[in-house]
């Protein structure tokens, strides 16, 4: 069975919100990112819509081992805390089955486009057969009597003067 997974954008470690949370909580930004992954992973596994009862707030703070971590998330806009519920904004965009399907479709499309770029000028459906190329060469007739040098010597233009420029001036 496939392991559960979630989408994390590569620029997330460098987002201003991560550094703001680091300052608020007095912990390193890499620790903040790891704890965010834990929180988002919990929501990904336990929530269908990104909305949970307020009682989950204590569970999440205990999960990451930092008091007021969820409050710092709320301070930067990554968690909305109401009187009765907590909510991850834009949950449906980043989490859940729909987000995973979009991410997988985007990955498949990217691979397909990369393959198309690599095949530019090539067609895998064409069978290359060396015997076809040899038969073409065998049927090609080369006129051995033709020589561009001999044509130039035999030319009837006897007014060729190597010391005259193309405008007729003497050098």
Q: Is residue 44 part of a domain?
A: yes
pLDDT digits (tens, 9 = 90+) for 5-45: 777 889 999 999 999 999 999 999 999 999 999 999 999 88
Does residue 67 form part of some domain?
yes
Residue 1 pLDDT > 70: no
Kindly indicate the confidence band of residue 169, based on its pLDDT and cuts at 50, 70 and 90. Answer: low
51 found inside a domain: yes
Question: What was the pLDDT predicted at 106?
Answer: 67
Task: State the pLDDT at residue 32.
Answer: 98
> Which has more confidence, 5 or 85?
85
Report which of residues 46 and 93 the model is more confident about: 46
- Residue 99 belongs to some domain of the structure: no
pLDDT tier at 132 (50, 70, 90 boundaries)? low
Across-strand partners of 164? 170
Structural contact between residues 57 and 86, judged by C-beta atoms closer than 8 angstroms: yes
* pTM metric for this prediction: 0.57
pLDDT for 77? 96
Domain count, the chain: 1
Tell me which of 50-64, 90-104, 123-137 is least confident: 123-137
26: domain CATH number is 1.10.10
Residue 135 lies in a domain: no
| Domain boundaries, position 75 | 12-94
Contacts of 86 (CB under 8 A, 6+ apart): 51, 52, 53, 54, 56, 57, 60, 70, 79, 80
Between CA 74 and CA 80 the distance in angstroms is 6
């Amino acid at each position: 069975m496939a392991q559960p997974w979630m989408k994390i954008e590569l620029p997330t470690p460098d987002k201003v919100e991560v550094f703001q949370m680091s300052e608020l909580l007095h912990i390193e930004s890499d620790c903040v990112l790891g704890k965010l992954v834990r929180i988002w992973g919990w929501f990904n596994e336990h929530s269908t819509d990104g909305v949970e009862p307020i009682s989950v707030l204590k569970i999440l703070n205990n999960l990451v081992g930092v008091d007021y971590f969820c409050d710092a998330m709320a301070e930067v806009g990554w968690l909305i805390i109401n009187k009765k519920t907590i909510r991850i904004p834009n949950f449906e965009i980043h989490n859940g089955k729909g987000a995973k399907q979009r991410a997988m479709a985007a990955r498949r499309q990217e691979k397909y486009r990369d393959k198309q770029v690599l095949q530019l000028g090539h067609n895998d459906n064409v069978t290359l057969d060396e015997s076809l190329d040899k038969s073409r060469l065998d049927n090609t007739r080369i006129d051995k009597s033709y020589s561009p040098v001999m044509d130039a010597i035999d030319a009837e233009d006897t007014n060729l003067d190597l010391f005259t420029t193309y405008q007729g001036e003497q050098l």
